[in-house]
Amino acid sequence: MHYYNPNCFEQTEVWGENILLQNPYYRGKIEIIKSLIPPETRTILDVGCGDGSIIDQLDRKYALTGVDLSQTAIKLAPPDITRAVCSSTLLPFADRCFDLVMCHDLLEHFPEDYILKTTKEIARVAKRYIIISAPEKENLRARYTICDKCRTICHAYGHIQSFTFERLARYFPDFSCQDPIRCGEVSVELRDIILRIAQKLGKYYFFAEHSPTICPKCGHKIKIDRQRIEAGKSNHLRAILALVARKMRLIYTRGPYWIICPFERKQEA
Ligand SMILES: [Zn+2]
């Protein structure tokens, strides 16, 4: 069920044209990230920078470097920053050579061994600070979508991991994080068991409005079911059902989508 397919990220459709910046929650998240950069920071590395949608928003008083495995994405990243195509599991930089290393919306796409290697590399090249962000406690099933060509069921954003603050902190034993920040959309979701039934019987799937999903199996760009999105928003019967579901505790409101963790290297004895 859970696919990890790096080839998805070579597709031009998922990058450019400020796709992520069209999402107001994403813009809000970038503002928080900017506010978390410690004042003495001079050099910043963004691991998995994609097309540079975050790093491009940072002040050019910093020396900025962005890396990503996707050549397609790196080509679209701003040309006035240092860019490189490389794997996050093997960063071509010396130990502790960036004041701050950031990594956003990357780890949730990875199998566990990639997460371990990537976080180890981030900790190695970070001199003092790390900022990590990922969806918090994501119920992956709530964003399952379906390919209209081959009927493969996959996560609309390709996520295969769900994180808690404790889990993220465990990857950085030499760093401490005092105050994680939560941001993003607060959404209503069906309880897992109801979701399973709704998806089995009612084909209740999610369609990403802001960024297209490329089917990990056949490579088809999954068509957004506009009718289904609109029906979900306006249908009175659905609204009544939602009310009943809430009364019966079949749906719940989940907290803000992302958690942002600003880490600082622990004092060495
Ligand atoms: Zn497909």
251: in domain: yes
CA angle in degrees (0–180, nearest 5) for 141-146-149? 165
The confidence band for 205, taking pLDDT boundaries of 50, 70 and 90, is confident
1: in domain: no
Mean per-residue pLDDT, 187-191: 81
Distance 1 CA to ligand 1 centre (A): 13
Distance 26 CA to ligand 1 centre (A): 27
The confidence band for 244, taking pLDDT boundaries of 50, 70 and 90, is confident
Query: Considering only 104-108, 200-204, 212-216, which range has the smallest mean pLDDT?
Result: 200-204
Distance 222 CA to ligand 1 centre (A): 7
Distance 160 CA to ligand 1 centre (A): 17
Q: Has residue 144 got a pLDDT over 80?
A: yes
222: in domain: yes
Distance 70 CA to ligand 1 centre (A): 21
181: in domain: yes
Mean per-residue pLDDT, 136-149: 91
Distance 65 CA to ligand 1 centre (A): 35
Distance 18 CA to ligand 1 centre (A): 25
140: in domain: yes
Mean per-residue pLDDT, 239-268: 84
Distance 210 CA to ligand 1 centre (A): 19
Domains in the chain, number: 1
- pLDDT, one tens digit per residue, over 8-56 is 677 776 776 677 788 899 999 999 999 999 999 999 999 999 999 999 9
Distance 146 CA to ligand 1 centre (A): 8
**Residue 202 or residue 150, greater confidence:** 150
- Backbone φ, ψ for residue 89 (5° rounding): -85, -5
> To 10 degrees, the CA torsion angle through 154, 157, 161, 163?
-140
Q: Which domain holds residue 261?
A: 6-265
The confidence band for 1, taking pLDDT boundaries of 50, 70 and 90, is very low
Distance 154 CA to ligand 1 centre (A): 9
C-alpha 180: how far from chain center: 16
143: in domain: yes
Q: Has residue 220 got a pLDDT over 70?
A: yes
DSSP the chain: -----GGGGG-GGGSSTTTGGGSHHHHHHHHHHHHHS-TT--EEEEET-TTSTTGGGS-TTSEEEEEES-HHHHHHS-TTSEEEE--TTS--S-TT-EEEEEEES-GGGS-HHHHHHHHHHHHHHEEEEEEEEEEBS--GGGGEEE-TTT--EEETT-----B-HHHHHHT-TTEE-S--EEES--EEEE-HHHHHHHHHHH------SSSPPBPTTT--BPPP-HHHHHHHHH-HHHHHHHHHHHHTT-EEEE--SEEEEEEEEPPP-
Distance 158 CA to ligand 1 centre (A): 13
CATH number of the domain encompassing residue 108:
3.40.50.150
**Residue 57 or residue 14, greater confidence:** 57
Distance 41 CA to ligand 1 centre (A): 44
Distance 226 CA to ligand 1 centre (A): 18
Distance 112 CA to ligand 1 centre (A): 25
Distance 161 CA to ligand 1 centre (A): 21
The confidence band for 4, taking pLDDT boundaries of 50, 70 and 90, is low
- pLDDT, one tens digit per residue, over 58-95 is 999 999 999 999 999 999 999 999 999 999 999 999 99
Reported residue count of the chain is: 269
pLDDT at 251: 78
What does the alpha-carbon distance between residue 194 and residue 184 come to, in Å, rounded to a whole number?
A: 24
Mean per-residue pLDDT, 190-214: 79
Distance 17 CA to ligand 1 centre (A): 24
Distance 201 CA to ligand 1 centre (A): 20
